[in-house]
């Protein structure tokens, strides 16, 4: 038995106990709530027990989270999870990212939000408490099981975040596991450098909050079907649905903001599988919320309302499966998979079966007796809009699921080679439809709208958006049909809703939540079209001749090489790479953006410092730097940089010598000067050179002239001692160049000259890319307006709900 020094084993033991407690109490909460709901809606003793156990579960889970945070905070590397996801070097502000980076932590984050929402529902759901909390407790049991880390019959159930480092399967038999003092030298593995960004501390919690909030409408819908209260569930579920839409929408778009700020693919949306799988539940939730709106008064499309509400949550589980099971493997940049795929599949199938059972046993009747809505009615257009959202979600899910399809059908398809083109070819036209519906449907009335009046009301915004489209098309020289069309339709959506907000609602914010949310959504689409659809790469390769691809017209020239001190035209700027700065693990490349002023002189406009984050374990990560103007962004990132010889010692070292045969008068270029062999230098004093008396010495004067006109000379000397020939080098320190003269070719009479340059002369270049994103601020403002508008609508609805109905 080895006595390990410095381990904090108590915390882990308490943690493991709390895992068990939270799992068992969620099961008990489920059992009691289930029993209670089966009997009545009243608060009976079953229900009281249910509450007690859900609260016990909540307390255990909070304790669990607290302990893991404490262990990460105290760098308790005796725990595998802490070792795996953090290090002592990591700034404290990333502690949250360390927490959820692993599968166990993100499961806890999800369960945490369910606990928050569940405890609110215990108070607010009144007669629905029994059914809603039955669903919540059951989900908590599934999530809790993912933390168990037990192995009955050799099957792994869950993975425990409190496994010790020295007992982890990966570490078995490694020498440190038998060293009692191993904690003295063990250092954490650290956090993925991509996640060391402030967006990454708030984006995942927001997405998980959104994910968790899809469970509320799901639980109410199950309750409605279970209790055969087919319409009553909508009223309490509606504010929560739109709350979820707001939060999840914010979370998804924050992911885009992170991608734009921290990743260097140049944009905020790349149809990456992980992005897609968080977008799809949002689309379905939006569709579900709108169908709930039209079914709350009159049952029109009740089956669809149920189906979409249920599927929003099912898609959340599917999304978790896609990103956590590792099935995306090669297709995604960021699936941090540790993989408990089987358990997630059971989790998903359980709720799929439950949903399908209720949907078909109870909901089927609504499909048969559906009534037709009038064409010019608000409900019909809202239905159409939801349908388009469903199609959009279907297409995204289908193409993102290629690895799953391969798994199921044994096919060997690879994800689309050009994902952006593939998804855009579908999503652009669908977005045109959605934005058109958004523009029109605010002015539509329920049941029937007089068509003439409708068009009269729409006319001003229609005309303005046509003019606006022409303006933008001219300004940005848009030449793609669908980009033009979407430009028009999204502008129309924004203006029509603005018009509605100010003319019909007289600008009353309280009533205008929906109009504002739609304005925001229109702006998000408009901003995307303006910025991504019209992005311009200004780092075009203007000077170099592309030898390899001369006959290829599509040759990619989006990257430019910049030597230190060089100034290169990137229309409308001239860009100078001024210096490289090493700060800790970051290497910054300072770029000055210049313009030529009236006097013909360069004038600095601004500087950007794209950088590379050095990370030995996980690879170096380039990160962009962006200059924000009100109407455009200049986005710059390093595509390639020589990251060897970064430290100042090796910078000062000389690189490989060039051996040249030169005659007097010859000249050549070095990296920072023009060098010319001027003349022989015969008047050398052997004594001062510390040479022997009989040595023959001959010097050669070399003049170096820099680009800015400074002159330097060097005189390397050749010495003949007996039958041995050697050179005495001479250095021009200012230029980091040294010369050796060590022979003369007797036939050609050419001189044998060695030229060496310091590493800092040659190594200092970068390959960079610069992109202009016009009007990207429309997108960011749109996000804020959309989320605020949605929350205003939710608030208004809650206040209406609490008022007694007349």
Partner 1 sequence: MKKTHILAILVIAVAIGAIISMVSDAATYADFATAEQMVGKEMQVVGQLNKEKEIDYNPQADANSFSFFMVDNQGTERKVIFKGAKPQDFERSEQVVVTGSVEDGQFYADKILMKCPSKYNDGRPDELTEITAESNS
Contact positions vs partner 1 (CB under 8 A) = 170, 189, 265, 330, 332-333, 370, 372-373, 375, 380, 384, 387, 391, 394-395, 398-399, 402, 412-418, 422, 425-426, 541, 544, 546-549, 552, 554-561, 612, 616-620, 622, 639-641, 643, 765, 767, 769
Query: By CB neighbour count within 10 A (0-12 exposed, 13-18 middle, 19+ buried), where does 607 fall?
Result: middle
Give Cβ neighbours of residue 710 (< 8 Å, ≥ 6 apart).
Answer: 734
Q: Which is nearer to partner 1, 332 or 777 (CB)?
A: 332
Query: Rounded to whole angstroms, what are the CA distances from 516 to 78, 785, 786, 798?
Result: 51, 6, 6, 18
Residue number with CB closer to partner 1 (74 or 556): 556
Taking a C-beta distance cutoff of 8 angstroms, is the pair 708, 567 a contact?
no
Considering beta carbons, is residue 205 or 610 the nearer one to partner 1?
610
| Residue closer to partner 1 (CB basis): 83 or 492 | 83
Nearest to 181 by CA among 51, 7, 55, 308: 7
Residue 137 in contact with residue 30, Cβ under 8 Å? yes
Interatomic CA distance for residues 740 and 718, integer angstroms: 8
- Taking the complex as a whole, how short is the minimal distance between the CB of residue 489 and partner 1, in angstroms? 18
Q: Which is nearer to partner 1, 319 or 331 (CB)?
A: 331
Indicate the length of the chain as a whole number.
806
Nearer to partner 1, 160 or 541 (CB): 541
Q: Between residues 160 and 620, which has the closer beta carbon with respect to partner 1?
A: 620
Q: Which is nearer to partner 1, 556 or 692 (CB)?
A: 556
Please give the DSSP secondary-structure letter assigned to residue 504: I
The beta-strand segments (E) located in 527-657 are 536-537, 560-563, 567-570, 573-583, 586-596, 602-608, 611-613, 621-623, 625-628, 632-641
CB-CB contact of 591 with 609 (8 Å): yes
Least distance (Å) from partner 1 to the CB of residue 786?
A: 26
Least separation in angstroms between residue 86's CB and partner 1 is 13
> By the 8 A CB rule, do 257 and 780 touch?
yes
Measured CA distances, 618 to 91, 99, 190 (Å): 18, 18, 9
Q: Are 190 and 87 in contact (CB under 8 A)?
A: yes
Residue 675 to residue 755: CA distance in whole angstroms: 10
Residue 605 backbone dihedrals phi, psi, to 5 degrees:
-95, -50
In the complex, least distance from residue 619 CB atom to partner 1, rounded to whole angstroms = 4
Q: Residue 39 or 174: which CB sits closer to partner 1?
A: 174
Kindly state the tokens that stand for 621. 């990560």
Can you tell me the distance from the alpha carbon of 70 to that of 67, in angstroms, rounded to the nearest whole number?
5
Crossing angle of the two packed helices 341-361 and 302-324, in degrees rounded to 10: 170
Residue of 517, 535, 531 lying closest to 782 (CA atoms)? 517
Instruction: Name the residue nearer to partner 1 (CB basis): 63 or 416.
Output: 416
Q: How far is the CB of 640 from partner 1 (least distance, A)?
A: 4
Instruction: Judge whether 702 and 714 are in contact, CB under 8 Å.
Output: yes
Alpha-helical segments (H) within 481-512: 481-499
Least separation in angstroms between residue 667's CB and partner 1 is 20
CB of 448 to partner 1, least distance (A): 14
* Minimum distance of partner 1 from residue 199's CB (angstroms): 20
747 CB-side CA count, 13 A: 1
At which residue do the structure tokens 């943690």 appear?
15
Nearer to partner 1, 399 or 777 (CB): 399
Give least dist CB 740 to partner 1, A: 25
Shortest reach from residue 379's CB to partner 1, in Å: 12
| CB nearer partner 1, residue 139 or residue 382 | 382
Residue 765 Rama label (left phi>0; alpha psi -120 to 50; beta): beta
Choose among 400, 390, 391, 393: nearest CA to 422.
400
Least distance between partner 1 and beta carbon 391 (Å): 6
Q: What is the dihedral of CA 328, 329, 335, 338, to 10 degrees?
A: 110
Shortest distance, CB of residue 141 to partner 1, whole angstroms?
A: 29
Q: How far is the CB of 171 from partner 1 (least distance, A)?
A: 11
Q: Which is nearer to partner 1, 477 or 544 (CB)?
A: 544
């Amino acid at each position: 038995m080895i006595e390990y020094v410095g381990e904090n084993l108590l915390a882990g033991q308490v943690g493991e106990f709390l895992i068990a407690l939270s799992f068992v109490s969620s099961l008990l909460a489920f059992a009691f709530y289930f029993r209670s709901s089966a009997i009545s809606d009243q608060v009976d003793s079953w229900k009281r027990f249910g509450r007690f156990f859900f609260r016990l579960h909540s307390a255990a889970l909070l304790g669990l989270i607290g302990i893991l945070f404490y262990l990460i905070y105290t760098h308790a590397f005796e725990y595998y999870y802490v070792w795996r996801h953090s290090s002592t070097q990591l700034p404290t502000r990333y502690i949250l990212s360390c927490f959820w980076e692993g599968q166990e932590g993100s499961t806890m984050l999800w369960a945490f939000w369910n606990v928050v929402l569940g405890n609110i529902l215990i108070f607010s759901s009144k007669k629905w408490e029994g059914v809603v909390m039955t669903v919540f407790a059951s989900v908590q049991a599934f999530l809790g099981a993912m933390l168990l880390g037990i192995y009955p019959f050799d099957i792994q159930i869950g993975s425990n975040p409190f496994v010790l480092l020295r007992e982890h399967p990966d570490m078995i038999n490694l020498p440190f596991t038998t060293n009692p003092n191993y904690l003295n030298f063990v250092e954490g593995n650290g956090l993925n450098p991509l996640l060391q960004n402030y967006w990454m501390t708030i984006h995942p919690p927001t997405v998980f909050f959104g994910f968790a909030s899809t469970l509320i409408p799901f639980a109410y819908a199950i309750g409605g079907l279970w209790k055969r209260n087919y319409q009553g569930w909508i009223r309490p579920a509606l504010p929560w649905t739109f709350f979820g839409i707001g939060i999840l929408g914010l979370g998804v778009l924050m992911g885009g903001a992170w991608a734009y700020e921290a990743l260097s693919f140049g944009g905020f949306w790349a149809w990456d599988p992980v992005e897609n799988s968080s977008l799809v539940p949002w689309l379905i939730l939006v569709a579900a919320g709108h169908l709930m709106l039209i079914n709350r008064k009159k049952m029109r499309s009740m089956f669809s309302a149920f189906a979409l509400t249920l599927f929003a949550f099912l898609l959340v589980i599917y999304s978790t499966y896609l990103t956590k099971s590792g099935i995306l493997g090669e297709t995604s940049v960021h699936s941090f998979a540790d993989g408990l795929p089987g358990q997630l599949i059971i989790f998903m199938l359980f709720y799929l079966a439950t949903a399908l059972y209720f949907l078909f046993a109870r909901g089927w009747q609504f499909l048969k007796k559906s009534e037709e809505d009038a064409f010019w009615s608000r409900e019909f257009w809202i239905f159409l809009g939801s349908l388009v959202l469903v199609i959009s979600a279907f297409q995204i899910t289908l193409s993102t699921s290629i690895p799953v399809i391969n798994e199921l059908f044994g096919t060997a398809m690879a994800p689309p080679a050009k994902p952006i083109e593939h998804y855009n070819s579908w999503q652009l036209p669908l977005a045109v439809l959605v934005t058109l519906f958004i523009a029109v449907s605010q002015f539509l009335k329920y049941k029937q709208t007089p068509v003439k009046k409708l068009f009269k009301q729409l006319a001003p915004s229609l005309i303005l958006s046509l003019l606006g489209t022409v303006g933008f098309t001219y300004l940005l020289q848009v030449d793609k049909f669908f980009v033009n069309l979407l430009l028009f339709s999204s502008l129309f959506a924004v203006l029509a809703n603005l018009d509605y907000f100010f003319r019909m609602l007289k600008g009353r914010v309280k009533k205008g939540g929906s109009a504002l949310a739609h304005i925001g959504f229109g702006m998000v689409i408009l901003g995307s079209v303006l910025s991504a659809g019209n992005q311009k790469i200004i780092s075009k390769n203007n000077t170099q001749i592309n030898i390899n691809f001369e006959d290829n017209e599509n040759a990619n020239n989006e990257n430019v090489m910049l030597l230190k001190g060089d100034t290169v035209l990137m229309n409308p700027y001239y860009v100078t790479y001024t210096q490289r700065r090493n700060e800790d693990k970051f290497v910054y490349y300072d770029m000055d953006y210049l313009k030529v002023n009236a006097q013909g002189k360069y004038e600095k406009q601004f500087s950007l410092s794209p950088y590379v984050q050095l990370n030995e374990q996980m690879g170096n990560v380039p990160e962009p730097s962006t200059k924000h103007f009100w109407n455009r962004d200049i986005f710059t990132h390093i595509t390639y940089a020589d990251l060897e010889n970064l430290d100042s010692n090796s910078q000062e070292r000389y690189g490989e010598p060039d051996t040249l045969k030169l005659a007097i008068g010859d000249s050549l270029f070095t990296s920072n000067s023009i060098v010319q062999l001027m003349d022989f230098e015969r008047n050398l004093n052997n004594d001062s050179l510390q040479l022997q008396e009989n040595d023959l010495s001959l010097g050669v004067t070399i003049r170096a002239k820099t680009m800015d006109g400074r002159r330097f000379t060097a005189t390397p000397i050749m010495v003949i001692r007996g039958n041995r020939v050697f050179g005495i080098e001479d250095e021009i320190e200012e230029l980091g160049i040294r010369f050796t003269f060590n022979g003369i070719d007797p036939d050609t009479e050419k001189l044998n000259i060695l030229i060496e340059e310091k590493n800092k002369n040659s190594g200092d270049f970068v390959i960079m890319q610069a992109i202009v994103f016009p009007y990207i601020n429309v997108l960011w403002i749109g996000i804020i307006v959309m989320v605020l508008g949605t929350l205003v609508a939710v608030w208004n609805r809650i206040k209406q709900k609490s008022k007694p109905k007349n």
